[in-house]
C-alpha cells in the first residue's frame, strides 16, 4: 500500500514546530518549573469577571459559539471606534496570521519580515509556499525604512512588523509607524502585529484609519488580558480584507466559552489598567535583577524584558539552559546578534524572586 499523496508543498515542509511548550520541557525534566517566565503570558491572570464568564459559559458549552462572533466583534469595534465590519476574530493571532497569509500568499510570492521576528509568521509563510525576505534588526529594533525598501525591491504582498516588538521588547513611536504605512508600496499590506499594544506606553500606538487598505492590525487577549489559554485574537482592517477571512476561516473555531471570556475581559478595562501598572513594576524589578548580575536590560514596551547577556549566542544559550534546569522557564531570540539576549516575562513578586535566586547560579555556571 502506498501512503497518502501529500501535495508537493506539504511534502516539502519540515516537521519542525515553531515553539516547544514549557509542558514538554517539564515532562522531559520530570518536574514543574518554579517560575513560568518564558511565553510572555500574564502571570497577573485574567479579570475575575472573565473567569466568572468562562465558568458560566462552561455550563452552556453544549451550544456552538456564534460563527459570526457578533457580540464580541461589536464590543471590539466599540472599544476601538470602528465598525464590526472592520473586525475579524479568530483562534489567536496565530490563527489569524495563517488565514491572512493564506489569502495573500501563494507559491513564490514575496513576503518581508525582520530576521529574528515572530517564528510563527514565518511558519505560515513557508506553509503556503511564500518566499520570505528578511531584513536585519537595527539597534535591537525593527527597521521600518529597511522593511519598506525591501518590500518595494522584491514586490512583496505582505510585510510583517510588530510594534511593540517581540522578542526584543523595543518599539517605535506612532509617527514612525504612520510614516511606514504611508510609504507602503502599491498593493502591499502591512501586517501590524500589536499583540503587546495593550501594555505599551502612550505614543507607541499609531492612529490608523480603519478603512486604510494598506494595513491590518492584529490584537490579542493572550497578553494584557491574560487569556493565552483561551485563544482569542482579532484583526482590524478595511472591510474588504476583513470580509475575505470568511472565505477561509474555521467559522465555528471560536467557541462559546472563548467568546464569553473575551467579552468579559474587554469590558474590564480597569483590570487591564491594573495589569499594565504591575507590568511596569515587574519590568523595573527584572531590570534591577539583571543589573545586579551585571547584565543589561533593554528598554521594553511589553510584558517582558529582553536582557543582554553581554557575550555571544552560545553564552546566552548557556545562561538560558542554566535557568531552565534550575526551574526558570525563559526563552531567547533565535537569530544573531539578537541571540546574545534572553527574554524574561513579567511575573509576580514570587516568580521574580525565583529568578533573582537562580540567575546568579545560572550565570556562574555559564561562565564556568
CB of 155 to a second copy, least distance (A): 10
Instruction: Name the pairing type of β-strands 328-329 and 35-36.
Output: parallel
CB of 14 to a second copy, least distance (A): 7
CB of 141 to a second copy, least distance (A): 26
CB of 136 to a second copy, least distance (A): 26
Would you say 80 or 102 has its CB closer to a second copy?
Answer: 102
Would you say 55 or 273 has its CB closer to a second copy?
Answer: 55
Q: Side-chain half-sphere of 64: how many Cα atoms within 13 Å?
A: 8
Would you say 207 or 247 has its CB closer to a second copy?
Answer: 247
Would you say 140 or 351 has its CB closer to a second copy?
Answer: 351
Grid coordinates given for 235 = 484583526
CB of 263 to a second copy, least distance (A): 13
Mapping DSSP to helix (H, G, I), strand (E, B) and coil, where does residue 26 land?
helix
Q: What is the DSSP string of 268-319?
A: -HHHHHHHHHHHHHHHHHHHHHHHHTT-EEPP-SSSEEEEE-SS-HHHHHHH
Would you say 91 or 339 has its CB closer to a second copy?
Answer: 91
Q: Number of helices (H) and strands (E), helices first, in the chain?
A: 13, 12
CB of 342 to a second copy, least distance (A): 19
Q: 92 and 118 in contact (C-beta within 8 Å)? A: no
Please give the Cα distance from 220 to 98 (Å, whole number).
15
CB of 295 to a second copy, least distance (A): 26
Please give the Cα distance from 39 to 43 (Å, whole number).
10
Long-range contacts of 31-34, Cβ-Cβ distance < 8 Å, separation of 24 or more: 31/327, 32/327, 33/324, 33/327, 33/328, 33/329, 34/326, 34/327, 34/328, 34/354, 34/358
Would you say 90 or 144 has its CB closer to a second copy?
Answer: 90
Amino acid at each position: 500500500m502506498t501512503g497518502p499523496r501529500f501535495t508537493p508543498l506539504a511534502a516539502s515542509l519540515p516537521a519542525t514546530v515553531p515553539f516547544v511548550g514549557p509542558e514538554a520541557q517539564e515532562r522531559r525534566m520530570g518536574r514543574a518549573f518554579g517560575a513560568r517566565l518564558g511565553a510572555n503570558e500574564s502571570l497577573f491572570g485574567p479579570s475575575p469577571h472573565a473567569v466568572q464568564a468562562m465558568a458560566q459559559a462552561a455550563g452552556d458549552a453544549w451550544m456552538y459559539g456564534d460563527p459570526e462572533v457578533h457580540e464580541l466583534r461589536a464590543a471590539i469595534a466599540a472599544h476601538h471606534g470602528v465598525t464590526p465590519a472592520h473586525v475579524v476574530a479568530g483562534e489567536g493571532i496565530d490563527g489569524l496570521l495563517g488565514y491572512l497569509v493564506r489569502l495573500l500568499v501563494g507559491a513564490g510570492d514575496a513576503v518581508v519580515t525582520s530576521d529574528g521576528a515572530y517564528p510563527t509568521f514565518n511558519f505560515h509563510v513557508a506553509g503556503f509556499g511564500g518566499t520570505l525576505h528578511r531584513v536585519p534588526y537595527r539597534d535591537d529594533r525593527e527597521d521600518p525604512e529597511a522593511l519598506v525598501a525591501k518590500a518595494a525591491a522584491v514586490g512583496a504582498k505582505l510585510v510583517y512588523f510588530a510594534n511593540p516588538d517581540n522578542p526584543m521588547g523595543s518599539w517605535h513611536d506612532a509617527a514612525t509607524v504612520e510614516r511606514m504605512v504611508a510609504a507602503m508600496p502599491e498593493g502591499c499590506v502591512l501586517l501590524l502585529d500589536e499583540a503587546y499594544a495593550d501594555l505599551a506606553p502612550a505614543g507607541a500606538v499609531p492612529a490608523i484609519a480603519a478603512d486604510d487598505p494598506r494595513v491590518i492590525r492584529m490584537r490579542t487577549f493572550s497578553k494584557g488580558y491574560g487569556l493565552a489559554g483561551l485563544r482569542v485574537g482579532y484583526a482590524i482592517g478595511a472591510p474588504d480584507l476583513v470580509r475575505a477571512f470568511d472565505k477561509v476561516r474555521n467559522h465555528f473555531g471560536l467557541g462559546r466559552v472563548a467568546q464569553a471570556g473575551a467579552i468579559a475581559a474587554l469590558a474590564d478595562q480597569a483590570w487591564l489598567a491594573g495589569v499594565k501598572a504591575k507590568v511596569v513594576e515587574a519590568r523595573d524589578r527584572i531590570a534591577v535583577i539583571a543589573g545586579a548580575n551585571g547584565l543589561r536590560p533593554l528598554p521594553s514596551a511589553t510584558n517582558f524584558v529582553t536582557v543582554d547577556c553581554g557575550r555571544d549566542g552560545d553564552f546566552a544559550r548557556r545562561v538560558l539552559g542554566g535557568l531552565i534546569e534550575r526551574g526558570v522557564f525563559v526563552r531567547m531570540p533565535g537569530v544573531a546578534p539578537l541571540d546574545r539576549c534572553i527574554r524574561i516575562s513579567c511575573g509576580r513578586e514570587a516568580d521574580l524572586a525565583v529568578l533573582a535566586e537562580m540567575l546568579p547560579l545560572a550565570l556562574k555556571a555559564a561562565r564556568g
